[in-house]
Amino acid sequence: MPEQYLGLQEVINKQIEVPQPLLTEEQTEQINFTLIEALHTNKQVYLTYYKKGQCITEKGFIQFVDSLGNLFVFIDEVFELKNKMKLSELIDVRLA
């Protein structure tokens, strides 16, 4: 019986998956500008990123940005954990 629930959960998860949004050059520039501003002023941001078919929004602080290595470090507000993410996973960044 539990195997049926697992299979059903997989089907439901597949149905709610969304494709990763493609960003325009203008959107990418705005994200870069906001990341740099948040990093230098230590302002809190709302960060929306794409992961496993879902768009996830979290609130926290940008600690480090490496544009050449395509990654950044984000400290989430809830658990205060450091999260390394790829810049290519970002969908939106807004100052809180």
Q: Quick check: 90 and 47 in contact, CB under 8 A?
A: yes
pLDDT tier for residue 16 given thresholds of 50, 70 and 90: confident
Range of the domain at 39: 18-95
The domain that holds 29 is classified in CATH as: 2.30.30.520
Model pTM score: 0.83
Q: Give the count of beta carbons closer than 10 Å to the beta carbon of residue 16.
A: 8
User: Average pLDDT for residues 62-89, to the nearest whole number?
Assistant: 94
Does any domain span residue 12? no
Using DSSP bridges, classify how beta strands 54-66 and 44-51 pair: parallel, antiparallel or unpaired: antiparallel
